[in-house]
C-alpha cells in the first residue's frame, strides 16, 4: 500500500522566505519492505486457525470415497503408456468427479467403477428393479439402463458434457430402476 | 466321432462365445461395492468395428470344439502388451443376437482364420457393428444380450509350470525362514 506523507494543502517555506504550494508526495514502499522475507511467508502459509477448518456434510455417504478412488487412479501427465484399464487420464478423472458431484444425490447408490479399454470411466449401478451403466469421457456421458421387467427395451442416452439435461435424464432413469413402475424412454442423443 | 465341421453360414441354433480375459482393475479402487456382472471391457473391440466371437457348437456347447479353442485362446492372451489369462466364454445362442428387438437384430458372419497354429481358428466369426451405432453403445448392447440371454462358460486357467526342483528346494527354504 502506498503511504501518503504530505497533505496537498501544506505550504513549504523556503530559506529565502518565499512560500510555495507543493504537490502531495506519495512514497511507495521499496521492494525490500513490500515483500516479506521467505521465512515469514513460510510461517504464515502453514499457520492454521482451527476456526477455519471446513466441515461439510457430503451429499451422499459414498461420494467422498468415490472421488478418492478416482483421484487414486488418475494418471499424472506423461504416463499415458501405462495399462489403460488401471488408470484414467486427468481429463477423464476431472470429468468423472464433476459428474458425481453434479449427480450423486440422484444416482441409485454407490457405483462400482473401472476404466474401459477406450480410456473412459465406467460406473455400474445396481438397483432393485434394474441396472444403470454410465460411461464418462471428457466430451460425453453415456447412460445405458435396463429395467428387469423390460429387458427387450434398454434405454440409451448420450449427453454432452455440460448439458443441463443430464440431471433430468438421470432422475428419470434412477426412478425407473428403483421403483417398479414407470416406462423409460428409448435411444436418444443430446 | 470327428470334431464339428462348421458350415459357411452361422445358424440360429449355434452357440456363440465371446472370450473373457482378465482385465486389471483401477489402481486404488479397493473397498468398492461388489459387481457380479460382466465388465464392459470384455465387449470392447480395439482392433476395428468387427466384434470377434467363437462358434462353440452346432446347437449346444461342443466339448471337442472347446478343447480345440482353449489352447488358442490361452495363446491369444499372451499376445496382449500385458499378457492376460483366459477365463472362459460368455455364451448365448446365435438367434438371440439375430433377433429383432427394440433394435434390429445383428448379423453374424463366419470368418475362419487360416494363420499358422496357434493363431488359426476355423470357428471364428464376427458381428458387424451397424453404421448408426457408436462403439460404446455397440459394446453395451452386446453385453446386455450376453448377460440377459446367455451364460458364462468358465474354463480352468492354464496351468503354471514351475521347475521340478522347486518341489524340493521350497520346503528347505521354508525351514530356514527364507
Q: Is B80 on the interface with A (CB under 8 A)?
A: no
Q: Residues A34, A70: one domain?
A: no
Report the domain count for chain A: 2
Query: How many CA atoms, within 13 angstroms, populate the side-chain half-sphere of residue A163?
Result: 18
Predicted pLDDT at A39? 52
Q: Nearest to residue A85, comparing CAs of A128, A122, A136?
A: A122
**Residue A160: beta bridge partners?**
A140
Q: Residues A147, A180: one domain?
A: yes
Give pLDDT tens digits for A58-95.
678 899 999 999 999 998 777 766 667 889 999 999 99
Q: Residues A139, A173: one domain?
A: yes
Q: Residues A71, A24: one domain?
A: no
Domain limits for position A174:
63-189
Using an 8 Å CB-CB cutoff, list chain B residues near A68.
28
Q: Residues A94, A40: one domain?
A: no
Q: Residues A43, A136: one domain?
A: no
Do the Cβ atoms of A91 and A161 come closer than 8 Å? no
Q: Residues A42, A109: one domain?
A: no
pLDDT digit string (tens) for chain B, length 178 residues: 789 999 999 999 999 999 999 988 898 888 899 999 999 999 999 878 899 999 999 999 999 999 999 999 999 999 988 889 999 999 999 999 999 988 889 999 999 999 999 999 999 999 999 999 999 999 999 999 999 999 999 987 665 445 555 556 666 666 666 5
In sequence order, what E strands does chain B have?
15-21, 51-57, 86-93, 108-110, 124-127, 151-154
pTM of the model: 0.76
Q: What ranges do the domains of chain B cover?
A: 15-22+38-158
- Min Cα–Cα distance to chain B from A54, Å: 26
Size of interface A-B (CB pairs under 8 A): 100
Of A83, A88, A112, the CB nearest to B33: A112
Looking at the domain assignment, is residue A58 inside a domain?
no
3-state secondary structure of A178: helix
Using an 8 Å CB-CB cutoff, list chain B residues near A117.
23, 41, 44, 46
- Min Cα–Cα distance to chain A from B77, Å: 15
Q: Residues A94, A27: one domain?
A: no
Q: Is B32 on the interface with A (CB under 8 A)?
A: yes
DSSP at B30: T
- Min Cα–Cα distance to chain A from B101, Å: 6
Q: Residues A81, A152: one domain?
A: yes
Of B26, B41, B102, the CB nearest to A186: B102
Residue of chain B minimizing CA distance to A117 = B41
Using an 8 Å CB-CB cutoff, list chain B residues near A186.
102
Q: Residues A116, A156: one domain?
A: yes
Q: Residues A99, A172: one domain?
A: yes
Q: Residues A79, A13: one domain?
A: no
Amino acid at each position: 500500500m502506498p503511504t501518503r506523507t504530505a497533505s496537498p494543502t501544506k505550504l513549504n517555506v523556503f530559506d529565502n522566505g518565499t512560500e510555495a504550494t507543493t504537490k502531495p508526495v506519495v512514497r511507495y514502499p521499496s521492494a525490500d519492505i513490500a515483500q516479506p522475507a521467505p521465512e515469514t511467508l513460510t510461517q504464515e502459509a502453514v499457520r492454521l486457525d482451527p476456526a477455519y477448518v471446513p466441515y461439510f456434510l457430503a451429499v451422499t455417504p459414498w461420494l467422498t470415497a468415490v472421488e478418492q478412488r478416482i483421484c487414486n487412479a488418475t494418471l499424472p501427465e506423461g504416463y499415458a503408456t501405462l495399462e489403460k484399464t488401471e488408470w484414467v487420464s486427468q481429463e477423464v478423472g476431472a470429468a468423472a468427479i464433476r459428474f458425481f458431484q453434479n449427480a450423486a444425490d440422484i444416482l441409485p447408490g454407490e457405483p462400482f467403477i473401472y476404466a474401459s479399454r477406450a480410456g473412459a470411466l465406467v460406473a455400474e449401478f445396481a438397483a432393485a428393479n434394474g441396472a444403470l451403466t454410465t460411461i464418462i469421457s471428457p466430451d460425453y456421458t453415456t447412460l445405458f439402463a435396463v429395467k428387469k421387467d423390460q429387458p427387450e427395451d434398454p434405454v440409451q442416452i448420450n449427453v454432452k458434457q455440460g448439458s443441463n439435461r443430464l440431471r433430468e435424464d438421470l432422475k428419470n432413469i434412477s426412478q425407473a430402476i428403483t421403483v417398479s413402475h414407470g416406462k423409460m424412454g428409448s435411444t436418444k442423443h443430446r | 466321432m470327428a470334431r464339428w465341421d462348421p458350415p459357411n453360414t452361422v445358424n440360429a441354433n449355434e452357440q456363440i462365445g465371446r472370450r473373457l480375459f482378465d482385465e486389471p482393475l483401477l489402481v486404488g479402487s479397493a473397498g468398492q461395492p461388489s459387481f457380479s456382472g460382466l465388465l464392459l471391457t470384455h465387449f470392447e473391440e480395439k482392433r476395428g468395428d468387427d466384434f470377434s466371437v467363437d462358434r462353440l457348437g452346432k446347437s449346444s456347447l461342443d466339448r471337442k470344439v472347446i478343447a480345440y479353442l482353449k489352447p488358442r485362446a490361452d495363446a491369444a492372451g499372451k499376445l496382449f502388451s500385458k499378457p492376460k489369462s483366459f477365463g472362459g466364454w460368455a455364451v448365448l445362442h446365435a438367434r438371440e443376437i439375430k433377433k429383432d428387438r427394440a433394435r434390429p437384430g445383428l448379423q453374424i458372419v463366419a470368418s475362419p482364420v487360416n494363420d499358422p497354429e496357434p493363431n488359426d481358428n476355423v470357428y471364428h466369426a464376427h458381428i458387424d457393428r451397424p453404421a448408426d451405432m457408436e462403439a460404446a453403445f455397440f459394446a453395451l448392447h452386446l453385453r446386455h444380450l450376453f448377460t440377459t440371454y446367455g451364460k458364462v462358460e468358465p474354463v480352468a486357467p492354464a496351468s503354471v509350470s514351475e521347475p521340478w526342483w522347486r518341489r524340493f528346494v521350497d520346503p528347505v527354504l521354508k525351514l530356514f525362514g527364507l
